[in-house]
A and B are shown apart, each in its own frame.
Chain A
């Protein structure tokens, strides 16, 4: 995938090229429409105007000739002289057999037969007109019959060759073409400029992605403007920032975990070497060393168990949920912790409200209560107390664990849920703490949709308040 992105891209495959082609095509299409439509409309207008004018003129001639008893060359010539029709390149009048009686052409066709399709159709009773624009001129032809008392006496044929209006339209066409070419060139230039500005930012973003992919998580994209690309760049920066934090946490975690595992292993190694290298060690000391090795192994086991629990949480593996009575779990957990509390001379008092049921696995609730209560006992003072309360409040079940111990400094409070974080490292290790208990508590509570808060307890000690969503029975849910 990385190699693919490094492949040399064809110029035609770039976003800039596609943008230029799309935009330019759009502009060109618009210009083509703007160039053709007015000309077509102008020509149609000229055609209509010519049809109206020429047909009117032909009708006047036809009407005048229809007053004659019969068409002859002389009588037609007299009528045409009276009408004095000008402006046409040719006017022909034929009799009913298409014999030309009158012709204004330079080489007159009088006495000849006019076998034109227009004359033919006019002699058939039709009114004919057509006009076309070609060769830089409008050529228009019209023919209409000359009727008298329902009988076709002949036909009138008019031909007009108009280069003047054609020249005007062609002038407009040339001007439009010039303007269009200039507009196209300007559009192309602007498209290149704008697309380059746009794609430069995309290229910069792609470059930044490659840099971050290479491991430089501190790299950021410079935010320019306030558009969608700026938003995208901002999201990229946020993502990279989160990635950087995650990477830092991962490194710290690996470092801390290595350290936590290395310490008991080093102790075990040292103790075992001492036993092996000491030839005359007495049995009492050897037993003490072996006991220490066992303790360190237990600590190692606890740490790896908790790491495994956290890893399962990180992987999103949830234990099956069922209605769990939090008070019952508190009772059973206290039974397990009573020997530890007695050994540390700490008293445990609990107030449990009935019916505080949450939807969770019993193991998860046990983990939360055990870790909080164990910490409350371990970091207490001789003769101190631990107070545990479970009660319902609205749609939540609140679990409160308070101790009368040494308390947590305010600066350390936001960090106590971080993995391997210890407030008092020496005392924690001495007490057998792994620095993972509160992380497990926080992750478990959040996975159950709950919340946890820590605050100082007056006059001394610490208070943890855990809020779980109440279990809603099937009947209640409806």
Chain B
């Protein structure tokens, strides 16, 4: 074998081996906040985190949006989005994430609060996201909120 070609072959082999190693564990986990179904809310939490595995190939925020739009894995939880509603896009600028929704324009009051808080807690857990605002077309459903704007339990006593 030509001695000049040997380092090239070793390099190719190492690259192939490193590729095989990555394919074994290509998924990671993220936290998606869901609304607890009304039947399970008695003296307990309203929102609960659900661990979701995803493949970070399409970008973490896109993966989070897809997971958020999907149905929860247990019947104790429910998607805070209204029926037919979903997050369709986003824009991230200087840590401020603007989510664009579809079919959520009719949400009001406490139901809107649950949806917005779920989204804020979910997307603020992603590195690089500080605040989350939600829009339906051009209408602002929620001003920019961070995790600190939400109290999940009274810890005063």
Q: Which residues of A contact B (CB under 8 A)?
A: 89-90, 92, 96-100, 105-106, 109, 111-118, 120-121, 123-124, 130, 139, 141, 157, 159-161
Given A89-B156, A99-B113, A115 contacting B151 (CB threshold 8 A): yes
Given A109-B151, A159-B154, A98 contacting B113 (CB threshold 8 A): yes
- Name A118's closest neighbour in chain B (CB-CB): B43
- Name B148's closest neighbour in chain A (CB-CB): A112
Chain A residues in 8 Å Cβ range of B151 = 100, 109, 112-116
B46 with A130: CB separation less than 8 A: no
Of the residues B46, B109, B117, contact of A116 by C-beta under 8 Å: B46
A115 with B114: CB separation less than 8 A: yes
* Given A89-B156, A90-B157, 19 more pairs with CB closer than 8 A: A92-B154, A97-B108, A97-B113, A99-B113, A100-B151, A113-B113, A114-B154, A115-B45, A115-B113, A115-B150, A116-B151, A116-B154, A117-B43, A120-B41, A123-B110, A139-B157, A141-B157, A159-B154, A160-B157
> CB of B152 within 8 A of chain A?
yes
Expressed in whole angstroms, the Cα–Cα distance for A100 and B117 within the complex equals 14
- Name A97's closest neighbour in chain B (CB-CB): B113
Expressed in whole angstroms, the Cα–Cα distance for A116 and B150 within the complex equals 10
> CB of B94 within 8 A of chain A?
no
State the Cβ distance, B155 to closest chain A Cβ, in Å.
9
- The 9 closest A-B CB pairs, nearest first, are A161-B157, A90-B156, A115-B46, A97-B113, A96-B109, A105-B156, A123-B110, A98-B113, A139-B157
Expressed in whole angstroms, the Cα–Cα distance for A97 and B149 within the complex equals 13
Chain B residues in 8 Å Cβ range of A112 = 148-151
Chain B residues in 8 Å Cβ range of A106 = 156
- Name B108's closest neighbour in chain A (CB-CB): A97
* A–B complex contacts, Cβ < 8 Å, 5 sampled: A90-B156, A97-B113, A105-B156, A120-B41, A160-B157
Chain B residues in 8 Å Cβ range of A113 = 113, 117, 149-151
Chain A residues in 8 Å Cβ range of B41 = 117, 120-121
State the Cβ distance, B39 to closest chain A Cβ, in Å.
12
Expressed in whole angstroms, the Cα–Cα distance for A159 and B113 within the complex equals 23
A159 with B156: CB separation less than 8 A: yes
Residue count of chain B within 8 Å CB distance of chain A: 23
Q: Mark B134-157, 1 if CB is under 8 A from A, else 0.
A: 000000000000001111111011
B152 with A115: CB separation less than 8 A: yes
B149 with A115: CB separation less than 8 A: no
State the Cβ distance, A116 to closest chain B Cβ, in Å.
6
Of the residues A117, A139, A160, contact of B44 by C-beta under 8 Å: A117
Expressed in whole angstroms, the Cα–Cα distance for A141 and B151 within the complex equals 16
> Which residues of chain B from 29 to 67 have a CB within 8 Å of any chain A CB?
41-47
B110 with A97: CB separation less than 8 A: yes
- Name B157's closest neighbour in chain A (CB-CB): A161
A117 with B117: CB separation less than 8 A: no
State the Cβ distance, B157 to closest chain A Cβ, in Å.
4
Of the residues B110, B153, B154, contact of A98 by C-beta under 8 Å: B110
B47 with A141: CB separation less than 8 A: no
> CB of B112 within 8 A of chain A?
yes
Expressed in whole angstroms, the Cα–Cα distance for A405 and B109 within the complex equals 134
Chain A residues in 8 Å Cβ range of B46 = 115-117, 120
Expressed in whole angstroms, the Cα–Cα distance for A115 and B154 within the complex equals 9
Of the residues B45, B148, B149, B156, contact of A117 by C-beta under 8 Å: B45
Chain B residues in 8 Å Cβ range of A96 = 109-110
Q: Mark B109-125, 1 if CB is under 8 A from A, else 0.
A: 11011100100000000
State the Cβ distance, A428 to closest chain B Cβ, in Å.
107
Expressed in whole angstroms, the Cα–Cα distance for A141 and B154 within the complex equals 10
Chain B residues in 8 Å Cβ range of A97 = 108-110, 112-113
- Name B118's closest neighbour in chain A (CB-CB): A115
State the Cβ distance, B47 to closest chain A Cβ, in Å.
6
Chain A residues in 8 Å Cβ range of B150 = 112-113, 115
Expressed in whole angstroms, the Cα–Cα distance for A32 and B43 within the complex equals 31
- Name A121's closest neighbour in chain B (CB-CB): B41
Chain B residues in 8 Å Cβ range of A139 = 157
State the Cβ distance, A288 to closest chain B Cβ, in Å.
124
State the Cβ distance, A75 to closest chain B Cβ, in Å.
19
Expressed in whole angstroms, the Cα–Cα distance for A105 and B156 within the complex equals 7
Expressed in whole angstroms, the Cα–Cα distance for A111 and B144 within the complex equals 12
Chain B residues in 8 Å Cβ range of A121 = 41
Chain A residues in 8 Å Cβ range of B156 = 89-90, 105-106, 159
State the Cβ distance, B17 to closest chain A Cβ, in Å.
49
Expressed in whole angstroms, the Cα–Cα distance for A106 and B155 within the complex equals 11
State the Cβ distance, A120 to closest chain B Cβ, in Å.
5
Chain B residues in 8 Å Cβ range of A90 = 154, 156-157
Expressed in whole angstroms, the Cα–Cα distance for A61 and B157 within the complex equals 21
State the Cβ distance, A388 to closest chain B Cβ, in Å.
107
